[in-house]
């Protein structure tokens, strides 16, 4: 089987959207869904629509960025509210929490697409995501959602390469999954907890750190930074001010993870069982 080049995969993505004729994109503003939105708009024009779900698990700054990016692409963006916080199967934070979140999302998007005459709902799942623990992928599949990047076999690295090739200035934007991923499985998720994590991460980004997570465990915040940034953070940051800021957000204790930032770190507790 011949190995496709990145540009060949881009052409296949364009062909895929040509065949769809009309598409509604589940658009978070992340680098994956933004690339899907860009290609869909380039091929379909006004027959492509980006829809962003707004809920307490989405950072306000991420929503604002998604709007700027959609404007740059040229695609029309609509906002819808999702109510996953009303579902105890989600807020109790089981290991398949993401399934219930994506079920709510696609139960909202599918009827919207049908009402507006869009043939397909598509998302930004890439081929690397299929190798990780992502129960939300199953929820999307059950509702007929298509994943063009995964279908063509586009990896995360290729998403960034194609995005850069197409002139998307955010091609190297850090991954930013929903805020509920900051809590250990089994710890209840509340709006107040999501908000304090969100404010804490915004605070650290304002200090100049982009690749990061603030994990929440009870009343303790655990800061995760790339290993190369840990020494810089300790030596160049007023730690007492960081602690005071985090306590102002509602945390009682603040710690620094010496292992460093690693995406999906909490999933290691699942695979270890």
What is the distance between the alpha carbons of residues 237 and 206, in angstroms, rounded to a whole number? 12
Q: Characterise 218 by phi-psi region: left (phi > 0), alpha (psi -120 to 50), beta (else).
A: left
3-state secondary structure 36-66: HHHHHHHHHHHHEEEEEEECCCCCHHHHHHH
Residue 177 pLDDT class (50, 70, 90 cuts): confident
3-state secondary structure of 121: strand
Within 10 A of 47 (CB to CB), how many other CB atoms are there? 17
Flag whether the pTM goes above 0.75: yes
Which of 196, 213, 195, 190 is closest to 248 using CA atoms?
Answer: 196
Same fold, 6-165 and 179-271: no
Q: Which residues pair with 81 in a beta bridge?
A: 54
**CA separation, residue 37 to residues 74, 126, 144, 265, 270 (Å):** 9, 14, 18, 29, 33
Is the torsion defined by CA of 176, 260, 228, 242 positive or negative?
positive
Characterize the bridge pairing of strands 213-217 and 253-256.
unpaired
Residues 6+ apart with CB under 8 A from 100: 84, 87, 89, 90, 139
The confidence score (pLDDT) of residue 264 equals 65
pLDDT classification of 267: cutoffs 50, 70, 90: low
| Sheet with 220-224, side-by-side order of all strands | 213-217, 220-224, 253-256
The encoded tokens of residue 114 equal 């049908």
Through-space distance between the first and last CA atoms of the chain, rounded to whole angstroms: 37
Q: Which CATH superfamily is domain 6-165 in?
A: HUPs (3.40.50.620)
By percentage, how much of the chain surpasses pLDDT 90? Answer: 89
* Average confidence score pLDDT of the chain: 94
Please state the domain extents for the chain: 6-165, 179-271
Confidence of residue 269 (pLDDT cuts 50, 70, 90): low
pLDDT digits (tens, 9 = 90+) for 105-140: 999 999 999 999 999 999 999 999 999 899 999 999
pLDDT attached to residue 22: 97
Contact 186, 93 (CB under 8 A): yes
Fold of 179-271: Alpha-Beta Plaits (3.30.70)
- Token pair recorded at residue 44: 């379909």
């Amino acid at each position: 089987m011949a190995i496709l080049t990145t540009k060949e995969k881009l052409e296949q993505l364009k062909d895929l959207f040509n065949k769809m004729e009309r598409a509604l994109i589940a658009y978070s503003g992340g680098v994956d869904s933004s690339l899907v939105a860009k290609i869909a708009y380039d091929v379909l024009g006004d027959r492509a629509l980006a829809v962003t779900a707004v809920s307490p698990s989405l950072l306000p700054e991420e929503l604002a960025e998604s709007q700027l990016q959609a404007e740059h692409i040229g695609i029309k963006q609509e906002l819808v509210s999702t109510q996953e916080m009303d579902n105890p199967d989600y807020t109790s934070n089981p290991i398949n929490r993401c399934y219930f979140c994506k079920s709510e999302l696609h139960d909202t998007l599918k009827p919207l697409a049908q009402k507006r005459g869009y043939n397909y709902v598509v998302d930004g799942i890439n081929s690397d995501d299929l190798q990780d623990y992502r129960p939300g992928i199953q929820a999307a599949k059950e509702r007929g959602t298509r994943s063009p990047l995964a279908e063509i076999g586009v990896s995360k690295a290729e998403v960034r390469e194609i995005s850069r090739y197409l002139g998307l200035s955010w091609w190297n934007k850090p991954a930013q999954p929903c805020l509920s991923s900051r809590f250990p499985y089994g710890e209840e998720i509340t709006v107040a907890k999501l908000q304090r994590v969100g404010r804490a991460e915004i605070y650290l980004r304002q200090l100049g750190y982009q690749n990061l997570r603030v994990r929440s465990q009870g009343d303790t915040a655990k800061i995760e930074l790339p290993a190369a940034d840990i020494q810089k953070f300790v030596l160049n940051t007023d730690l007492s001010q960081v602690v005071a800021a985090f306590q102002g957000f509602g945390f009682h204790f603040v710690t620094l993870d010496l292992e460093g930032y690693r995406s999906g770190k909490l999933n290691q507790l699942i695979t270890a069982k």
